[in-house]
Amino acid sequence: MIRNVSKLVGKTKEKESHLQKNHEDSKPQDTLHKNFNQNVETIRSVYDNCSDVVFRPFLLFGKTRAIIIYIEGLSDIEGIEEFVLSPLMQEPTNEVQSLNEFLEQKMPVSKVKKVNMFADCIESISTGNPILLYEGENNGFSLGLAKWEKRGIEEAVAEAGIRGSREGFNESLEVNTSQLRRIIKSPALKIQTMKIGKYTKTTVAIAYIDGLANKTLIEEITSRLERIEIDGILESGYIEEMIEDNPYSPFPQIMSTERPDIACSNLLEGRAVILVEGTPFTLIAPISFFSLMQSQEDYYQRFLMGTLIRWLRYVFLGISLLLPSLYIAILTFHQEMVPTQLLLSMASSREAVPFPALVEALLMEIMFEAMREAGVRLPKQIGSSVSIVGTLVIGQASVQAGLVSAPMIIVVSITGISSFMMPRYIAGIAIRMLRFPLMILAGTLGLLGIMMGMIAIAIHLCNLRSFGVPYLSPLAPLKTRELKDVLWRSPLWMMDTRPHLTGDANLYRQSSGQEPSPKRAGESD
């Protein structure tokens, strides 16, 4: 036993050291040399068999050998020709005292950074910023001339709304951060960046408002991100899965959005936003269960309509989770709960069905989920048509063939429509997953099984945390001051305090006593 444990520990240490070695060997760690040819050959050996990497030699001011290295498609070739090669290949009218001073202070490029490590040179080239090396110096210059094709700002596809901004994030991190800056113009908006991924070197940014977000929260998010050691980050889902509190929970502990207005509203409430290069979906932390039930339309419409829609969401959340289970339990174990006429009608419709209610419900739910996924994966032009027509044809044919009953088709259809009421897709997935074990409990234990399942879900939610914040906050633990935006949506002029998920700094977000009134200022009764 001890020998097996020691072998396991040895293998773990070997794996960690091998991973660390791979990260260290991924790029040269030495400093640049005085030897110009040696510097060029070292970088050329790193980019061996890379036909898109350009090495453009030239004479600096007609005297000194120099070279500019860049990647086609990632760098601004016109900018290189106009602002680098053209002025530097001309002989200066006045004697240049220091090449370093000239390149740092008089180069017509907005971003110029001196580098003296091979690793920094390779990182700069890989991100699209050309590297300028010249003879006689053991340093080079990174030129801020990165430029590549990017998608324009378009409407958020996954979070469409009737009222509000039509702009959504895109795959460019610079564009996404600029959208946050355009909405929140205060310098208190801080954005910290880091690189994650051995090969992709993906830029990940943490945005927060200094004075609103708890410093402990930002330190915890930064610590979790720095612990990630992986080959590459291709989407924000990679980050979400690596930093969440409980990876085995079906409920998401981090919310994703592609709308800048939603991200900014959460920043103003003291949360942090994680932006990942290459994806329009940003992450928001910490969150609660009730955050997933809120939509941007709740705040863009009048509070009465926002409250009514929110109540409808909670009602249909219960229907989506419990309706098939209740139907199975009542039909299998508790027929006395159904009125006689309705029970006779249901019995006559199930007379030719060869399966019990549990099997019947599982078949239809699995088929419905398959049709839903097929509609998502198919091209937009035919996806919705295939899913709707397929559901109608299969449902009608199944009833006529006697495989399922008509009441079961109605139950599954109402359940599917109810699941579409969830404003967050990730929250809807959790409800869809929990529906199946509840159906099995209902088919084996009846209403007792449903009660046991709901108690287990409630206990799990009470134990769940999102970066240390209780998942059912502010309902459990109860914070009466923060209930203004949970079960109902209070008027904006009443929500003078911000929800404090992470601390008590800067409690008030607006002045009190702003209830609108037709009276003029200074007018009395």
Amino acid 387: pLDDT: 64
DSSP string, 278-343: T-S-EEEES--GGGGG--THHHHS-HHHHHHHHHHHHHHHHHHHHHHHHHHHHHHT-GGGS-HHHH
Amino acid 388: pLDDT: 64
CA atoms within 13 A on the CB side of 209: 21
CB 446 within 8 A of CB 333: yes
Segment-wise mean pLDDT, segments of 10 residues, the chain, 525 residues? 46 48 53 89 91 90 88 90 85 60 74 89 90 88 86 79 84 92 93 92 93 90 94 93 93 93 91 94 93 87 88 92 93 86 83 86 86 75 65 75 84 88 87 93 94 95 92 86 83 79 69 73 54
CB 73 within 8 A of CB 148: yes
Amino acid 5: pLDDT: 41
Nearest to 499 by CA among 132, 197, 214: 214
Amino acid 240: pLDDT: 93
Amino acid 521: pLDDT: 52
Q: Global pTM?
A: 0.84
Amino acid 131: pLDDT: 93
Which residues does 310 contact at the CB level (< 8 Å), separation at least 6? 293, 294, 298, 487, 488, 489
Amino acid 329: pLDDT: 93
Amino acid 23: pLDDT: 45
Which residues does 378 contact at the CB level (< 8 Å), separation at least 6? 386, 387
Amino acid 277: pLDDT: 93
CA atoms within 13 A on the CB side of 287: 26
